[in-house]
Amino acid sequence: MGLGVGIVGLPNIGKSTTFNALTKAQNAQSENYPFCTIEPNKAVVPVPDERLKELAKIVNPERLQYSTVDFVDIAGLVKGASKGEGLGNQFLSNIREVEVILHLVRCFEDENVIHVEGEIDPLRDIEIIETELILADVEQLDKKIEKLNRQSKADKSARPILEIALELKNHLDELRPVSNFAKKDDEMFLGLNKELRFLSGKTIIYGANVDEDSLLEENEYVKIVKQHAKEVGAEVVTLCAKIEEELVGLEEDEAQEFLTELGVKESGLNKIIHTAFAKLNLISYFTAGVKEVRAWTIEKGWKAPKAASVIHNDFEKGFIRAEVIGYEDFINNNGEHGAKEAGKMRLEGKEYEVQDGDVMHFRFNV
C-alpha cells in the first residue's frame, strides 16, 4: 500500500526547497521568484522506521526494504488559478490521486524573499489555496453534472447520483470544502468521490515553514496556523525548509547530531510522514528473512488475510494461517528461534487483527 502526499502552496514560500529536502535530491529548482517549478516533481521516499534496523541486527539480511511515500510537488498556486492565472492550476490533476495534501504556509519574515501577495499573512494564504482547490472541484463537478443530466433522462438510476451531485455543487458554491459536506458518508457521494477524487475533501496537513529561531519557540504566524488547524480538525507540522535542505547529503549520524544541537528530535520529513500515517490510520508489519527485512503498510484494523494481500493477492486467496511474533518479543528473544522457544510465536487465523510491529510469516495454499 503506497501513501501519496501532494505539496501545495503559494509560489515562493519554500515549497520546492522543502521538496528538495524531503526527497534528498536536488531535482526541484529553488529560486527567488514565482513559478520556478513549472512541471510536477515526483519522488518516492522511504519511510524512516528504526525498528527495521533493529530487526536487521538480528536477522542480518541482504537488504532492507522500507515502506515508501510518494511526494508530488506542483507549481505554486495563486489567486485566480482556477481561471487560468499562474501555472499551478495546470498540475492540480497530479495530486488528485494522493491521499494527503501538505499545505505549506510561509511563517517567516525575510525581506530578501519576496511574497507574491506582498506581505506575510498565513490565514489569507491558506484561504487563497483552499479556495482554488474548491473551485477546481466545482469545475470538475460541473462537467459530471452535465453528463448526469443527459444520462438521467434515459436512465432513472442516474437520478440519485445527480441529486447528490447538485447538493454538493450548492455546498461548494458557498466556498465550503468537500471535507465538511454533510452527506460525505452517503453511498452516492462515495461513488462520486471515488471517480472524481475531490481535492478539497482530502486529508490536509499544514506545514508551517519557519526560520531557525522559530523551530523551538513558535512565532505568532505559527500560532495563527495552529488555531486555524484546530478549528478545521487538521494537523500542523512546523519545519524550517532551509535547515531541512542543509540535512541533505549528511550521513545519518551527522544529521541526527545536527538536529540534536538545534534541540529538535526529528526532521520535517519524519514528522510529515508520521503525521500522515496517523491521520490515515496506517500501521506497518514486518517480514524478516535472510533475503530481506521489509516493512508493509496496511490500514489499522485489517485482518490477517487482507494484510497478506499487500505482499501478493494469492496470499489472501489461499490464506491458511499466520505465524506472528510481536516486535518487542522478536527483539527481546533475539529473533524467531528464541521467540519460539520462549513461547512468543503465535499461530493466528483469518480473524486475527494485525498489530503495528507484528513480525509475520504467512502460510497459504493456492
Q: What percent of the chain has pLDDT over 90?
A: 57
Between strands 282-288 and 292-299, the pairing is antiparallel
Q: Which CATH architecture has domain 3-278?
A: 3-Layer(aba) Sandwich (3.40)
Can you give the pLDDT at residue 48?
86
Which stretch of DSSP H or E encloses residue 363? strand 359-364
Structure confidence by residue, pLDDT tens digits, 132-166: 899 989 999 999 999 999 998 888 888 999 999 99
Residue 243 CB neighbours (<10 A): 19
Is domain 301-364 given the CATH code 3.40.50.720 in the classification?
A: no
pTM (2 decimals)? Answer: 0.85
Sheet strands (E) in 56-201: 63-65, 68-73, 100-106
Taking a C-beta distance cutoff of 8 angstroms, is the pair 44, 70 a contact?
Answer: yes
| Nearest residue to 58 (alpha-carbon basis) of 332, 260, 246, 353 | 332
Can you give the pLDDT at residue 43?
77
Could you write out the DSSP letters of every residue in 192-233?
Answer: HHHHH--GGGSEEEEEEE--GGGTTS--HHHHHHHHHHHHHT
What is the average pLDDT value for the chain, to the nearest integer? 87
Taking a C-beta distance cutoff of 8 angstroms, is the pair 209, 241 a contact?
Answer: yes
How far apart are alpha carbons 273 and 69 in whole angstroms?
Answer: 8
Helices (H), 233-279: 241-247, 252-262, 268-279
Between strands 203-209 and 100-106, the pairing is parallel
Structure confidence by residue, pLDDT tens digits, 206-264: 999 999 888 888 899 999 999 999 999 999 999 998 888 888 778 878 888 988 888 88
Taking a C-beta distance cutoff of 8 angstroms, is the pair 108, 211 a contact?
Answer: yes
Can you give the pLDDT at residue 2?
65
Structure confidence by residue, pLDDT tens digits, 317-345: 999 999 999 999 999 999 999 999 999 99
Domain locations in the chain as residue ranges: 3-278, 301-364
| Nearest residue to 360 (alpha-carbon basis) of 309, 304, 314, 318 | 304
Can you give the pLDDT at residue 75?
64
pLDDT for residue 84 is more than 60: no
What number of residues does the chain have?
Answer: 366
Structure confidence by residue, pLDDT tens digits, 249-307: 788 788 889 888 888 888 888 888 889 888 888 999 999 999 999 999 999 999 999 99
DSSP class of residue 120? Answer: -
